[in-house]
Structure 1
Amino acid sequence: MKKFQAQPGFVVQAFRFALDPNVTQEHALRSHCGAARAAYNWAVGWVEASWWQRRAEESYGVAEEQLTKWRPWSLPVLRKAFNETKHTDPRFAAWWEENSKEAYSTGLANASAAFDNYAKSKRGKRRGRAMGMPRFRSKRKARLSCRFTTGTIRVDTDGRHVTLPRLGTVRTHECTVKLLDRVQAATARILSATVRHERGRWFVSFQAEVKRDLERVARPDVAVGIDLGVKTLAVMADSTGEIRQVPNLGHYDTARRQLRRASRIVSRRQGPDRRTGRQPSKRWEKANAQRNKVHHRVANLRADALHKLTTSVAAEYGTVVVEDLNVAGMLRNRRLARRIADAGFGEIRRQLTYKTRRRHATRLVVADRWYPSSKTCSGCGAVKAKLPLHVRSYECDACGLVIDRDDNAALNLAALATACVTGTGVAGDQDTAPAVSKPRGADQKTRATRTRRETVTGRAGGATLPQQRQTEARDRTQAEPLTLW
């Protein structure tokens, strides 16, 4: 085997394989994941204990300089504190030696990241929705996951086994040759491994540093516009005028009858009751497993269809234009939420983002959210003031063009690629939009009232903090966290 040498052109990529553990190995996997959850809960309780103590002392009028010190949540501090208490803590003293140290490190690292996200969100330094305080993870609902960064982590030479710390050699359901060949050719180096239980099966994901070869596309000079929908999953129109439609198979709707039958059987069994402490019966567990099997099959079919669609698009066209859809807002429509979730609009956008980044000759252009692709005539460029959703055919009042609504939108998206300014719309750049003029001169909807975040902070959601507050936030350390109440 050749010696690996990191060179320019290497990227970090994940390789996931389904595991086939025996009974002993599955028990060890669940033990490691449970240890990670226990360490996470311990870290959350250890950090928040000082917060609650300070709050109680403040209620009794204790002076500021005499209050209990804040406990930091950085990973080195959590590791040191956990190692000092695991020998005497009755929650860990009897069994902590049964698992790898990486299991506890996984939980502590997750807790540290959770507190960091909460602190950044509280100070307005984190994009997205507001993050709350970290909460304890339930044994019944927590996702089984554990990450290994040190120790023996390798893909065996037979191509059907992997070796992990403390777990030993575990057989895989599928061949691991796609990673094994790269490791043996010294074009990949394994960095870490993560085991996770998903959809009734155990998976291992290897994070590896891989040499990325130049992947060429079939038609680098052709741009394609993709208009997503419910009845038809995707309408693709390229710059040459060719239009293709991808039907929506509706895997969930197809399986609804089978799911209703399985759910009816589950409801007739004696299930768990947390209020009375009643344990589920064996027949309920068996029926619930059968129902979950149907859900897992639907999810696998959907994922397979979306991967085939996005892979074929990224491998054929040099420029891919998609819409910036507000999927979260669309899911609030109770009439279309089920079909939109089954279509996977957000997953298509996510897959196209990283798959186009892999190919140096392919770029991803994200159209502005308010770009009227459906209201604009693909022939003359005239824009209609209104176009109700039930009108499925576009009739231009200026040039008389009659075309399908989705086909017209896809053609406009394909034409949008030529309107992009150099440097915008590159692969993976979801925050930049092509520089195109808005038909009505508006970049966003008019907002009559201030949002809750503006009312509290006194500034817009994307505005920067004043210089004085920036300095205070920069000087504030984890040893002196923000005010929580």
Structure 2
Amino acid sequence: MTTLQAYRFALDPNQAQLAGIRRHAGASRFAYNWGLARVKAAHAQRDAEQSYGLTGDLLTPVPWTLPALRLAWNAVKRDIAPWWDECSKEAFRAGLDQLARGLKNFTDSRQGKRKGRRVGFPRFKKRGKARDSFRYTTGAYGPADETYVKLPRIGRVKVHEPMGALTGRLADGRARLFGVTVSRTADRWFVSFTVEVDRDVPERPSRRQRAGGPVGVDLGVKHLAVLSTGQTVPNPKHYQRAERRLRRASRAHARSKPGSAGRRQRAAQLATIHVRVANQRHNGLHKLTTRLARSHDTVVVEDLHVAGMVRNRRLARAVADAGMAEVRRQLAYKTRWYGSTLVVADRWYPSSKTCSGCGWRNPSLTLSERTFTCQSCGLVLDRDHNAAINLHHLVAASTPETENARGADRKTRASGRVAGKREPGTATAGQTGGASPRGEAA
């Protein structure tokens, strides 16, 4: 299987290289802002011409695409940026490319061609506030060896950790380098390699996966995940644990003088805490999803409406801190990598309100009730564990003719249950009937 992957490493530049990196990031930002000003000026001129009655080819063209923006930039760069030859041309191209993508996303969003929330018109980037980055797609760039990376006009820059996993794949032809992005997060610079990788995908689940069988995973806030096997993954609540330090750093930043060196220092300290929280969350979720994909032949999760859940002001912070949407995103590609299958239960399937022993439903079960008590068979069980077992039943009760094909789409039918909507690389299972929405974090 061929897939696009990114390898990210922290850079360890010397002072001269750091100055060069900052100069290239500034050049990218300069080209972006110049292009945006050019687009806005052309739009204003075009509107004025239309008010005069001009139409068609008589109107001023607007440089909306990357080729048009690059053509306009090359015509004036020596006049507006006489220092342009101090940086790689790729830095300017990266800024114009970001602008072209932003304009396209804006247009597609207005025309209904782009999913998700509505995208606004691109805005100018301000030094110190915008995310500093630039990208190489041509030239002599890439890993020089396991500890150095070649960046045109900057030189050989050392990285903090060995790049053996990447250089090994590039050397034996299992990976092809497409581009390199240099970006800043808090006060550190990173290099990210975009590569096309040929992965050896198992033709069938491994012995370990077959032994583990299918598993239902109930995601929530109290516990990050409860498995149908009875295992509970606690929610580490990284943001909540860091709130005291974040409040202290935020107060120090707010009380510092705008534009001062002290304010920049406080901003860097605040950003460092946020990055640490994000890294801790990311690391924990990767360990969880990798273990699930490698230990079970089928993983069943719910189609939680996370975007709607974060609109609840009482749940928003806890839901965002748990990273439930990230769990599903990671499982989607890891199950394909490791030869297992991801099944997504229908959003309206009442897993928490259905008895895992006899199928009786309690439509009046509230989120505050943490124990499920069946009035039909007498089952008393933790509501999250009960939900996970119900998710497991969606696959366990499937017909024997249904096969598990390495992460491919798969119908999962059980008594009284029908397949729901599908996503690439996943199968969706649900249950018919007037079920209550399962849009809450348990």
TM-score, length basis structure 2: 0.87
Equivalent of 1:75 in 55, 66, 75:
66
Between the aligned partners of 1:100 and 1:186, the Cα distance in structure 2 is 28
Shift of 1:262: 2.8
Q: Hey, what does 1:219 align to over in structure 2?
A: 209
Between the aligned partners of 1:320 and 1:199, the Cα distance in structure 2 is 36
Shift of 1:432: 7.0
Q: Structure 1 residues 289 and 119, CA, compared in 2 at 3 Å: closer, same or farther?
A: closer
2:347 is paired with a residue whose SS is: coil
Q: Structure 1 residues 383 and 100, CA, compared in 2 at 3 Å: closer, same or farther?
A: same
Q: Hey, what does 2:418 align to over in structure 1?
A: none
Code of the aligned partner of 2:345: A
Between the aligned partners of 1:287 and 1:442, the Cα distance in structure 2 is 47
Is residue 100 from structure 1 mapped to residue 92 from structure 2 by the alignment? no
CA-to-aligned-CA distance 1:130-151 (integer Å, 9 cap, x gap): 2222222222321111111111
Q: Structure 1 residues 77 and 246, CA, compared in 2 at 3 Å: closer, same or farther?
A: same
1:219 is paired with a residue whose SS is: helix
2:286 is paired with a residue whose SS is: helix
Q: Hey, what does 1:455 align to over in structure 2?
A: none
Whether the aligned pair in 2 keeps the contact of 1:425 and 1:432 (CA below 8 Å) is: no
Shift of 1:102: 0.8
The within-5 A match list for 1:81-480 is 81-89=72-80, 92=81, 94-157=82-145, 159-215=146-202, 217=206, 218-220=208-210, 222-237=213-228, 242-270=229-257, 272=258, 279-280=259-260, 282-359=261-338, 361-418=339-396, 423-424=409-410, 429=423, 434-440=428-434
Between the aligned partners of 2:28 and 2:63, the Cα distance in structure 1 is 20
Is residue 11 from structure 1 mapped to residue 3 from structure 2 by the alignment? yes
Between the aligned partners of 2:437 and 2:220, the Cα distance in structure 1 is 24
Whether the aligned pair in 2 keeps the contact of 1:363 and 1:425 (CA below 8 Å) is: no
Whether the aligned pair in 2 keeps the contact of 1:54 and 1:67 (CA below 8 Å) is: no
Tell me how large the CA RMSD over aligned residues is. Answer: 2.5
Shift of 1:409: 0.6
Q: Hey, what does 1:54 align to over in structure 2?
A: 46
Q: Structure 1 residues 289 and 113, CA, compared in 2 at 3 Å: closer, same or farther?
A: closer
Code of the aligned partner of 1:235: V
1:170 is paired with a residue whose SS is: strand
The gaps in structure 1 that reach 5 residues or longer are 1-8, 273-278, 446-485
CA-to-aligned-CA distance 1:266-307 (integer Å, 9 cap, x gap): 34432x1xxxxxx22x33333333333322222221111111
Code of the aligned partner of 2:67: P
* Paired-residue identity, %: 47
TM-score, length basis structure 1: 0.80
Code of the aligned partner of 2:236: L
Shift of 1:212: 0.8
Shift of 1:66: 7.5
Code of the aligned partner of 1:440: G
Shift of 1:324: 1.4
Shift of 1:107: 1.3
Q: Structure 1 residues 227 and 109, CA, compared in 2 at 3 Å: closer, same or farther?
A: same
Code of the aligned partner of 1:102: E
Code of the aligned partner of 2:340: T
Between the aligned partners of 1:164 and 1:28, the Cα distance in structure 2 is 10
Q: Structure 1 residues 76 and 387, CA, compared in 2 at 3 Å: closer, same or farther?
A: same
Q: Structure 1 residues 153 and 337, CA, compared in 2 at 3 Å: closer, same or farther?
A: same
Whether the aligned pair in 2 keeps the contact of 1:50 and 1:68 (CA below 8 Å) is: no
Q: Structure 1 residues 289 and 116, CA, compared in 2 at 3 Å: closer, same or farther?
A: closer
Aligned residue pair count: 418
Shift of 1:208: 1.7
The gaps in structure 2 that reach 5 residues or longer are 404-408, 413-421
Is residue 44 from structure 1 mapped to residue 36 from structure 2 by the alignment? yes
Between the aligned partners of 2:243 and 2:437, the Cα distance in structure 1 is 41
Q: Structure 1 residues 394 and 48, CA, compared in 2 at 3 Å: closer, same or farther?
A: same
CA-to-aligned-CA distance 1:401-445 (integer Å, 9 cap, x gap): 11110001111111223467773479x926976353322179999
CA-to-aligned-CA distance 1:29-85 (integer Å, 9 cap, x gap): 1211221122122222222322211222333x4243575233242222221111011
1:227 is paired with a residue whose SS is: strand
